[in-house]
Structure 1
Amino acid sequence: MPTWSDGYVSDIEYLPGFYMDQTPAHLDVACLLRDIEPPVAAGEPFRYCELGCGVGESALAIAASNHRSEVWGFDFNPAHIARGRDLARDGGLRNIHLLEASFEQLAKGEVRDLPAFDYIALHGVWSWVSPASRSHIVNFIDRHLNPGGLVYVTYNALPGWTVAQPLQRLVSTFASLDHGRSDRRVSTAIEMVRRVCDVGAPALQVADVERLEKERDQGNLAYLSHEYLNEHWAPCYHSDVAGDLAAAKLEFVGSANLLENFPDLSLTPQQRALIDDAPLAVRETLRDYFMARTFRRDVFVRGARIIPGRRRAQRLRRQKLMLVIPAAAVTRNIKIPLGEAALSERAYEPAFRALAEGPRSIGELLDLPEAAGSTASPREMIGMLVGSRQAMTVTNENTDAAIAVARAYNTLHLAACADSGRGMTALAAPAVGSAVTVTIYEMLAYEALSSGTPDDPKALTEATWKLLQDRGDRLRHEGETVESEDEARKILHDNMQVIIDIALPLWRRLGAI
């Protein structure tokens, strides 16, 4: 392994991916749920920084969907930065800066002329790097986060990871005995772990071993390598993370998993009563003993500005929401930390019908005649609709300039995804300042539409079939390769009709095309 890696896996690239929870639009909602002012006023440009950005997919999507804002991404792996820069250049993004730099270089100010940021995000970094690197991160935040700015940090959480710690140690130990590439080493290590498990090892959970084997069999060796083989891998208690970040004057806001900010959806009445009686400094850690979270998505603020009580409800009532899934897919039955819950029929059925017609403010939704008598509050409605991933906040206007930037980036990004064989990714969506997930058929349709193919199922079928032929790809449907051309064309035609009827109108409302 290269000596410059400081024990971090660097011989294979980290998996690309878009993570909605780290977008400014989403983090602002986490603030509003806790009655805290977001870093910048709604719709205003911001400065965003991602530390350990990998190939930059989240940073690129944020830049493409917020063209008036400025985005920076840093990673110590030159392969990551080179790949991200290629896509930024080819996609025409001028508001993003991707730089190769270690946390130590950033903390020491070796990267000069950096601005102060409104948001700093770290996904999949904190519990995978050395204590020294975590100290450098805190120093960088202290120097470069604006007053009132937010930090998003994810990490493997204790005590939830306690049971699986022996498994990680065994995988890492077996892998260290091999000197090949990390993906081969982790695969061999999992084979050895299975042998240990089969002869009886009470310290290993069979379900956890099976999960690793499933990931390996699905080809997710890059994920397994980066998750399990880093030398400084160390799950953390929330109180320890909060203590480290306090050196940069940060205080905990809440969870970017929005539904976790509602105690009645996360804890039993007895658990809530016990936490309420506990000292403030240990309450969040105590919640982890009850919720068994293995992964935390924490939001911290540098200087919390509490929204005055008389303005809280009005502030939320003005916030517009937009559906980001097809109207036919909306549901009142949502997953919550405690299991499942059903949203109020009186409040949410009319809200869903109204949102199916177009964006609405929360006040408009609550004031619908059909919702009369509902007890739903503005805070509940934004939390439930955004937290269940059915709606997002409207943050930007769909100007011609914003749509042009998003379309140019999306088109190049989809072509790059096709080259690497990905069957799912995310489209930059300016209206919500974020991105929305698309599947392989939608990816093909978007490429064809953006190149001028009319929104006609026959024309789209021919265009997407030609894309597949030109690339030497064959269609896969329900996990199987489609051998017959006639069958492939029929599957494409059926999917193109659905996309024209459902996905395309949604993309247009989002400003994605």
Structure 2
Amino acid sequence: MTSSQWSSGYVTDITYTHGYYNELNIQRARLALIHAGYAAPDIMNACELGFGQGISIAMHAAATEARWAGTDFNPTQALHAQGLARAAGADADLSDHAFAEFCGREDLPEFDFIGLHGIWTWISDENRAVIVDFVRRKLKVGGILYISYNTQPGWAAAAPLRHLMTEIGANLISPAGGSTARVEGALDFVDRIFATNPNYLKANPAIKERFEGIKKQGRSYLAHEYFNRDWHPMYVADMARWLGSAKMSFAASAHLPDSVDNINLTPEQQALLKDIPDPILRETVRDYCMNQQFRRDLWVKGARRLTPLEKVEALQTLRFILTMPRVKVPMSVAGALGGAGLSEAVCTPLLDLMADFKIRSIAEIEVALKGVVNFDQLVQATILLTSLGALAPVQDAATISKARKRTEKLNLHLMASARSSGDIAYLASPVTGGGIQVTRFNQLFCFALKQGRKTPADWVNFVYQWLTAQGQRLLKEGRILETEEENRAELLRQAEEFNAGLLPVLKALEIA
């Protein structure tokens, strides 16, 4: 069977990016549901369809007590995911089956959580029907479906640009060079077209700026985003129709900033939405207000609304930890209305309290900040700071204890891999049940520490030996550092910054 036969028109000659996606973290999903006023299930069995390189599913299999299963039909990516799970000693069922084959398996359990990130838009209607039937049969009553997809109206102006790039890649660029050549050739030819100042560009002047941003993206990402055969952005109402036969109800956005009206909607828009009783129509109008182009939705089978008291009590039990150095926390957040500053009066005392990296529940924080911050302010600040990566919801102590050995093994594997590659810029935390961004050199400093090197100077010696063995040098401010002295000085600067900033965070997260 040739790749064109098993790939169903999907790009396979260039592998997907090595990303980690927080929305697939079951702790984040529970937080979003509870904040939206819905009961959240305990998650014992979880599934990810189309897991790409498998970074997310491997980290979640290692860092939680849920048993994960999933598939990605690219065998190279499935092999990579299996290797990560095996390194962690995680009991994960990962395959390279096509959706129809995987979803038809009779040995799979019923799932409490099924996730698809960046898949729905790029597959055929036939595969969509397979997935919906799988959700109907295999998602438990009360279970969560996470699904992300390109949506309208945000793609209305740019969809012709994507079509143009795809057509150029398919018809003008020789297939001999593979997907990378198609991407480069299409970008160059669109530049030539735009140089003629076509009426499309005159009618949509913002497209020029968008195209300039596209040109800066990684070629692997662009190949998968813009050059697959199938691409169907979908209105949320259309998604509701697809999922209706699986008895799914829309519950919340998994993208936490979307739940904060003040950064996304004007007062007039907020008032308008409150007058719309139908939840799908309300989401549709909201998408028009925000010009939404990518949705990250949580749907529930048999959604149960929490009473106001139940919601408050559920929120109060959630526990959080600071996940970046206090001084690095950004004090603004981006929404559909643009950038908005966080409330200093609310966030400063909250961050000061959490700066010791201790785990605290919302209830404990509320008591500590009594008279300074009220409950509603505290919840909104916690949501926004979590969306910025400054806070993260925390698992229970028993789960942390059970996951610790697996995340330790996975992280050592990733740190060892960082000696030669910076592809995976994440490590797994048993505290948060997911991944934390840690760049290559910071992983290597952490690896050196685990090898018994105790000082930043020792870490530099450890790291530099691997760089010199491979003929690698550091890049600083766009310039390659040529001499050993320059490379060591830059490594020492980064090591000392790591020691003072990120290392205490990684220790609190039980990574270092």
TM over 0.5: yes
What is the 5 A alignment of 1:417-432? Answer: 417-422=418-423, 425-432=425-432
1:445 shift after superposition: 0.8
TM-score (normalised: structure 2): 0.92
Map of 2:364 onto structure 1: 364
Secondary structure of the residue aligned to 1:98 is: strand
Map of 2:19 onto structure 1: 17
Q: In the alignment, does 2:155 pair up with 1:154?
A: no
What is the 5 A alignment of 1:95-494? Answer: 95-107=91-103, 109=104, 111-177=105-171, 178-180=174-176, 181-204=178-201, 205=204, 208=207, 211-212=210-211, 215-216=214-215, 220-280=218-278, 281-357=280-356, 358-368=358-368, 371-372=371-372, 374=374, 376-377=376-377, 379-397=379-397, 402-422=403-423, 425-454=425-454, 456-494=455-493
Letter in 1 for 2:459: L
Letter in 1 for 2:167: T
Q: Is 403-412 or 291-300 further displaced after alignment?
A: 403-412
Equivalent pair of 2:422/2:439 in contact (CA under 8 Å): no
CA distance in 2, matches of 1:206, 1:188: 23
Residues 184, 418 of structure 1: alpha-carbon distance in 2 compared, 3 angstrom cutoff: farther
Deviations 1:214-268 (A, max 9, x none): 55566x2211111111111111111101210121111111111112112233211
Map of 1:80 onto structure 2: 77
CA distance in 2, matches of 1:293, 1:197: 25
Residues 88, 471 of structure 1: alpha-carbon distance in 2 compared, 3 angstrom cutoff: farther
Deviations 1:466-506 (A, max 9, x none): 22223332222233321111111111112212212221221
Q: In the alignment, does 2:510 pair up with 1:511?
A: yes
Letter in 2 for 1:72: A
CA distance in 2, matches of 1:466, 1:86: 26
Equivalent pair of 1:161/1:294 in contact (CA under 8 Å): yes
Deviations 1:336-391 (A, max 9, x none): 33223333334322211110012222122222257436464453243222223210
CA distance in 1, matches of 2:384, 2:336: 13
Secondary structure of the residue aligned to 1:119 is: strand
Letter in 2 for 1:287: R
1:286 shift after superposition: 1.1
Residues 461, 418 of structure 1: alpha-carbon distance in 2 compared, 3 angstrom cutoff: closer
Deviations 1:12-57 (A, max 9, x none): 21112101122101111110111111121xxxx6222110111211
Deviations 1:439-480 (A, max 9, x none): 2321221222233322x1111111111222233322222333
Secondary structure of the residue aligned to 1:137 is: helix
Aligned residues: 502
Equivalent pair of 1:346/1:370 in contact (CA under 8 Å): no
Letter in 1 for 2:118: G
Q: Which runs of 5+ in 2 are unaligned?
A: none
Deviations 1:262-321 (A, max 9, x none): 223321121122223335131101111110111111111111122233222122122211
CA distance in 2, matches of 1:64, 1:452: 24
Letter in 2 for 1:394: V
1:138 shift after superposition: 0.4
Equivalent pair of 2:263/2:334 in contact (CA under 8 Å): no
Secondary structure of the residue aligned to 2:469 is: helix
CA distance in 2, matches of 1:17, 1:383: 22
Secondary structure of the residue aligned to 2:118 is: coil
CA distance in 1, matches of 2:415, 2:207: 34
Equivalent pair of 1:350/1:371 in contact (CA under 8 Å): no
Equivalent pair of 2:323/2:391 in contact (CA under 8 Å): yes
Secondary structure of the residue aligned to 2:431 is: helix
Map of 1:50 onto structure 2: 48
1:418 shift after superposition: 4.8
Equivalent pair of 1:335/1:388 in contact (CA under 8 Å): no
TM-score (normalised: structure 1): 0.92
Residues 405, 510 of structure 1: alpha-carbon distance in 2 compared, 3 angstrom cutoff: same
CA distance in 2, matches of 1:395, 1:199: 56
Residues 402, 105 of structure 1: alpha-carbon distance in 2 compared, 3 angstrom cutoff: closer
Residues 359, 411 of structure 1: alpha-carbon distance in 2 compared, 3 angstrom cutoff: same
Residues 386, 214 of structure 1: alpha-carbon distance in 2 compared, 3 angstrom cutoff: closer
Q: Is 178-187 or 150-159 further displaced after alignment?
A: 178-187
Equivalent pair of 1:395/1:431 in contact (CA under 8 Å): yes
CA distance in 2, matches of 1:400, 1:376: 32
Identity, % of aligned positions = 32
Equivalent pair of 1:7/1:230 in contact (CA under 8 Å): yes
CA distance in 1, matches of 2:208, 2:421: 28
Secondary structure of the residue aligned to 1:474 is: coil
CA distance in 2, matches of 1:509, 1:127: 38
1:192 shift after superposition: 1.4
Equivalent pair of 1:316/1:378 in contact (CA under 8 Å): no
Secondary structure of the residue aligned to 1:2 is: helix
Secondary structure of the residue aligned to 2:48 is: strand
Equivalent pair of 2:332/2:339 in contact (CA under 8 Å): yes
Letter in 1 for 2:135: I
Letter in 1 for 2:406: V
Secondary structure of the residue aligned to 1:444 is: helix
Equivalent pair of 2:346/2:377 in contact (CA under 8 Å): no
Secondary structure of the residue aligned to 1:153 is: strand
CA distance in 1, matches of 2:470, 2:371: 52
Secondary structure of the residue aligned to 1:146 is: strand
